[in-house]
């Protein structure tokens, strides 16, 4: 077991109950929460359903950053609900235009040693400042807001020892891409990545935050840096020295695994279509023509990144063959760039300045043309996430993005022929906390007609007559299950949003998943989803559990299910099962019946569950499933989800 690590110290300081054995559930106290609009509407509806009069945390913040296109009234309806429910429940409200939740939270509220959970998978950005920041489903965040502890599997700690120093044109983004090439996006569930070693002090906090942000793509619980003099300096720049606390691992700390990365050996890297772990060096793909470059997001939308881009572009013009879009991460970042003239350099070079927020990262505009290459400084390039079917999205550092924007093709920035600009860190960062709206208890909650209710599940039947509605392969992300982009405005309306579950697998002229699942449900049967390895990667969106549940799905069986998605399934009364024999995955097909007899009695901690597979020709086969359910999880599942529990 990892001893003397930052991870262990923070867990010990927040321990409520449970085991300290890796993999066993441990409950920790949560100091801070954050929500964003796309997951927040459901989280606050759930908070209301729990009859919570006011939040019970040190700090809870509600951000509006994802969904700001306002195509139709739904978005603004959501914003008004979020603004008024925040005021009513004691939550600080960050209005649209203020910034991306992770960027702003790091700048204004990140504090070493604190715990934070957020209804967004990139909440680990806070690990850059030494906090234990974890992504979770909306219901878990609502429970934390109500003052309840949060459960995680007691983590294994992967220590990443950093040595050396990054060379010019090589960036923190290349470090996390390197780690993704080693650990990949699967097989890391239940671990926390902790950085240590002499290379740590060479990385300023925003660069550490780029690394912890994209650590989400590893599928780990979170990633964390120590809190040191660099952290202190950054908090002073943010006028928040009082939040500083030193925190580092003991010299003899024990990690479950150690990976060493020499920063001086890092070269510009790119994640190729369509997974963040498909890594090549930029040199290897040099010369590939590019049509679009996009810079920003919670990974690379901070002041240092955008200032570097502006300085590299100053006095030059981007290639006429590309479009360059820039979405600043926060209003303070945009304001600083405007005040010091760097914004003018970006505009003069040909950049299109987009709204402060997530924008194209979540498919809100800027979808690429068919068959073209899009280069992004973002953290995810899952197929179709850009809004274009068959898209070819690459993920790179801001340094590489500049080189591509100038040349119109993949170019190693070290070959640009001029020196990498050195961004002078401002003595003080611009900030204007007046934009955060303070709670006002008693505020009337505005609920326009597009705001629905969180749907409830039924108690688990003892005889479960299941039918396989879909069988999918490896690495199915929550973007595959519940597409975002143009559908984001339906997040507060489950009946409407449910129609697009697994939309990317709909074949022309054939019934959609939603139609098939509803038919199974209406025939009195339970829907079953079959996945393979690493099912439910990516976003924390609990809609990937709620909408299938609304369509009658009761079981998801796979070889492995990712942490946040598994928790969301349990919260909404769907049983996550794991094939005891991976070969059984091959035996099952869409349309097969999967029957569970005496299921309520079968569900017990650590005991497998037996199902009976019945094929169309009547052949039968017994299938054994394991499950990771704790006693509390089982109570919830039997009741049909957490909202049915007292
Ligand atoms: C994402 O990057 O996929 C999102 C959109 O921020 C999601 C949250 C959501 O689906 O609303 C995430 O990362 O959890
Ligand atoms: Fe927003 Fe993209 Fe970050 Fe998700 S990953 S929070 S969509 S910027």
DSSP 556-580: EEES-B-HHHHHHHHHTT-EEEEES
Closest atom of ligand 2 relative to the 299 alpha carbon: 3
- Our answer on whether the CB atom of 123 is closer than 6 Å to any ligand 1 atom is no
The closest alpha carbon to 117, from 140, 95, 100, belongs to 140
Concatenated DSSP letters of 29-88: ---EEEEEHHHHHHHHHHHHHTT-SS--SSEEEEE--S----SSTHHHHHHHHHHHHHHH
Closest-lying ligand to the alpha carbon of 477?
1
The mean pLDDT value of the chain amounts to 97
Residue 22: pLDDT above 80? yes
Which whole number is the average pLDDT over 515-538?
97
**Measured in angstroms, how far is the CA atom of residue 138 from the centroid of ligand 1?**
11
Quote the tokens at residue 445. Answer: 């909650």
**How far, in Å, from the CA of 625 to the mean position of ligand 2?**
35
Cα(341) to ligand 2 centroid in Å equals 27
φ and ψ at residue 207, rounded to 5 degrees? -75, -35
Check pLDDT > 80 for residue 430: yes
379 lines ligand 2 (CB under 6 A): yes
- Average pLDDT for residues 289-296, to the nearest whole number? 98
Instruction: Out of 120, 174, 305, 592, pick the active-site residue.
Output: 120
Q: Any catalytic annotation for residue 65?
A: yes
Taking the CA of residue 66 as reference, the ligand 2 atom at the shortest distance is: 1
Name the residue of 34, 35, 37, 38 to mutate for ligand 1: max ligand atoms within 8 A of Cβ.
38
pLDDT higher than threshold 80 for residue 646: no
Q: How far is the CA of 598 from the centre of ligand 2 (A)?
A: 43
Task: Give percent of the chain above pLDDT 70.
Answer: 100
What are the DSSP E strand ranges found in 339-416?
Answer: 352-353, 373-376, 392-395
| Protein residue closest via CA to atom 10 of ligand 1 | 541
Asked whether 540 lines ligand 1 (CB < 6 A), one says yes
Q: What is the mean pLDDT of residues 150-169?
A: 97
Predicted TM-score (pTM) of the model is 0.98
Instruction: For ligand 1, say whether the CB of 89 is within 6 Å of any of its atoms.
Output: no
User: Which residues, in sequence order, are CB contacts of 417 under 8 Å at separation 6+?
Assistant: none
Going by pLDDT thresholds of 50, 70 and 90, the confidence category of residue 1 is: low
Residue 3: which pLDDT band, with cuts at 50, 70 and 90? confident
pLDDT at residue 628 above 90? no
Q: How confident is the model over 311-339, as a mean pLDDT?
A: 97
Q: What pLDDT is attached to residue 353?
A: 98
Radius of gyration of the chain (CA): 24
**Count of C-beta atoms within a 10 Å radius of residue 168:** 12
pLDDT band at 425 (very low <50, low <70, confident <90, very high): confident
Whether pLDDT at 518 is above 90: yes
The pLDDT of residue 50 is 93
Q: Is the CB of 120 under 6 A from ligand 1?
A: yes
Mark whether 122 is an active-site residue.
no
Overall average pLDDT of the 426-455 stretch? 94
Ligand 1, residue 564: give the atom nearest the CA: 14
Q: What is the pLDDT of residue 604?
A: 96
Per-residue pLDDT tens digits for 563-612:
999 999 999 999 999 999 999 999 999 999 999 999 999 999 999 999 99
CA of 221 to the centre of ligand 1 (A): 15
Q: Is 123 in the pocket of ligand 2 (CB under 6 A)?
A: no
Ligand 1 in contact with 42 (CB < 6 A)? no
**β-bridge partners, 39:** none
Which ligand 1 atom is the nearest neighbour of the CA of 36?
A: 11
CB 233 within 8 A of CB 199: no
- Ligand 1 centroid distance, CA of 417 (Å): 38
User: What are the start-end ranges of the E strands in 391-497?
Assistant: 392-395, 464-471
pLDDT at 444 over 90: yes
CA of 362 to the centre of ligand 1 (A): 7
Active site residue 367: no
Confidence of residue 432 (pLDDT cuts 50, 70, 90): confident
**What's the confidence (pLDDT) of residue 170?**
98
**pLDDT over threshold 60, residue 314:** yes
Q: How confident is the model at residue 44 (pLDDT cuts 50, 70, 90)?
A: very high
Is the minimum distance from the CB of 217 to ligand 2 under 6 angstroms?
no
| Residue in 64, 89, 176, 202 with CA at minimum distance from that of residue 124 | 176
Band of the pLDDT at 52, cuts 50, 70, 90? very high
For ligand 1, is residue 543 a contact (CB within 6 Å)?
no
Q: Is it the case that residue 281 has pLDDT exceeding 70?
A: yes
With residue 555 as reference, give the H or E element that holds it: strand 553-558
Q: How far apart are CA 631 and CA 77, in angstroms?
A: 39
Whether the pLDDT of residue 619 is over 90: the answer is yes
The active-site residue, picked from 14, 37, 66, 376, is 66
- Predicted confidence band at 207 (pLDDT cuts at 50, 70, 90)? very high
Mean pLDDT to the nearest integer, 389-417:
98
- Percent above pLDDT 90 for the chain: 97
At how many degrees (to 10) do helices 303-313 and 205-214 cross?
A: 110
**What is the token pair recorded at 278?**
């498909």
Tokens, residue 534: 């690493």
């Amino acid at each position: 077991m990892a001893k003397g690590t930052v991870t262990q110290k923070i867990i010990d300081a927040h321990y409520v109950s449970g085991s300290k054995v890796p993999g066993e559930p441990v409950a920790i106290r949560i100091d801070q929460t954050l929500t964003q609009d796309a997951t927040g509407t459901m989280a606050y509806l759930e908070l209301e359903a729990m009859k919570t009069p006011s939040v019970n945390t040190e700090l809870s913040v509600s951000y509006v950053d994802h969904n700001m296109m306002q195509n139709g009234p739904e978005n603004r309806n959501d914003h008004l609900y979020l603004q008024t429910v925040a005021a009513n429940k004691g939550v600080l409200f960050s209005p649209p235009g203020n910034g991306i939740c992770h960027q702003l939270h790091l700048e204004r509220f990140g504090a070493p040693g604190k715990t934070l959970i957020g209804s967004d998978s990139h909440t680990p950005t806070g690990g850059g400042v030494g906090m234990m920041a974890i992504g979770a489903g909306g219901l878990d965040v609502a429970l934390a807001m109500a003052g309840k502890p949060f459960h995680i599997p007691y983590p294994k700690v992967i220590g990443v020892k950093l040595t050396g120093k990054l060379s010019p044109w090589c960036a923190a983004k290349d470090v996390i891409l390197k780690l993704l090439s080693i650990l990949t996006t699967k097989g890391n569930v239940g671990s926390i990545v902790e950085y240590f070693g002499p290379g740590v002090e060479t990385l300023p906090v925003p660069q550490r935050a780029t690394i912890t942000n994209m650590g989400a793509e590893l599928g780990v619980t979170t990633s964390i840096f120590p809190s040191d003099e660099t952290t202190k300096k950054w908090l002073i720049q943010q006028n928040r020295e009082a939040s500083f606390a030193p925190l580092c691992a003991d010299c003899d700390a024990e990690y479950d695994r150690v990976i060493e990365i020499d920063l001086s050996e890092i070269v510009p890297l790119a994640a190729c279509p369509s997974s963040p772990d498909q890594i090549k060096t930029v040199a290897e793909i040099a010369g590939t023509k590019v049509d679009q470059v996009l810079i920003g997001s919670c990974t690379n939308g901070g002041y240092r990144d955008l200032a570097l881009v502006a300085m590299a572009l100053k006095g030059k013009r981007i290639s006429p063959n590309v479009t360059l879009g820039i979405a600043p991460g926060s209003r303070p970042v945009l304001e600083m760039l405007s005040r010091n003239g760097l914004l003018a350099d970006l505009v003069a070079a040909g950049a299109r300045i987009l709204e402060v927020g997530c924008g194209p990262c979540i498919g809100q505009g800027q979808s690429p043309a068919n068959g073209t290459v899009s280069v992004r400084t973002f953290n995810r390039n899952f197929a179709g996430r850009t809004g274009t079917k068959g898209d070819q999205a690459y993920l790179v550092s801001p340094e590489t993005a500049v080189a591509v924007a100038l040349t119109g093709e993949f170019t190693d920035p070290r070959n640009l022929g001029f020196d990498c600009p050195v961004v002078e860190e401002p003595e003080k960062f611009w900030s204007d906390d007046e934009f955060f709206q303070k709670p006002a208890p008693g505020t009337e909650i505005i609920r326009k007609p597009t705001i629905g209710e969180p749907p409830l599940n039924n108690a688990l039947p003892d005889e479960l007559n299941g039918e396989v509605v879909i069988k999918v392969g490896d690495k199915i992300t929550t973007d595959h299950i519940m597409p975002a982009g143009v559908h984001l405005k339906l997040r507060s309306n489950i009946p409407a949003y449910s129609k697009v579950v697994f939309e990317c697998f709909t074949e022309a002229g054939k019934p959609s998943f939603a139609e098939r699942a509803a038919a199974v449900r209406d025939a009195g049967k339970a829907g079953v989803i079959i996945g393979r390895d690493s099912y439910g990667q990516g976003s924390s969106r609990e809609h990937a559990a709620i909408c299938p549940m609304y369509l009658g799905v009761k079981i998801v069986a796979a070889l492995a299910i990712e942490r946040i998605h598994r928790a969301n399934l349990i919260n909404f009364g769907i049983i996550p099962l794991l094939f005891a024999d991976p070969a059984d995955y091959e035996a099952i097909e869409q349309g097969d019946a999967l029957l569970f007899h005496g299921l309520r009695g079968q569900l017990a901690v650590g005991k497998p569950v037996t199902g009976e597979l019945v094929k169309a020709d009547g052949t039968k086969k017994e299938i054994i499933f394991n499950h990771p359910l704790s006693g509390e999880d089982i109570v919830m599942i039997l009741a049909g989800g957490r909202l049915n529990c007292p």
